[in-house]
Amino acid sequence: MIGNLKNLLGSCQDEAAAVAATAPTDALPADVAVTIAGAHVIGRPGADDKSARQLITTARGAFFYGAEQPRAWLQSNWPDLTDVQRQHALGLIGSLVIAAKREQEAAAAAVRGGSRWANWQPIRSV
């Protein structure tokens, strides 16, 4: 009897595993996530402050961050991504750009507010 139950439950588990293996997943493929995580963001100044652009370099090419360029880059490198996976990848790219902007702003603020080593004065003893 127990053997029959194991056979019955085993076949259900095998079917569930087969369905899970063939069903499309919304998780981002590892190679896409690793490529985006290894990307480097370079700030490119423009003619004025509002025209500055972010250049994103990856192992699979480079593109300027904007409305259509990241989407086209994803499509050319991974055409089989689902819409959910593509949105997730675009979100990762956007968060990478935001983090790079914060780092650049923090570095600029540290330079502005830091000590001026060239303006030092000797300690005067009393």
Tens of pLDDT along 17-48?
A: 555 555 568 899 999 999 999 999 998 887 77
Helices within 23-82 (DSSP H only): 30-37, 69-77
pTM score, whole prediction: 0.67
- How far is the C-alpha of 9 from the C-alpha of 12, rounded, in Å? 5
- At residue 16 the predicted structure's pLDDT band, cuts being 50, 70 and 90, is low
Mean pLDDT of 91-97: 95
Burial class (CB in 10 A: 0-12, 13-18, 19+), 56: buried
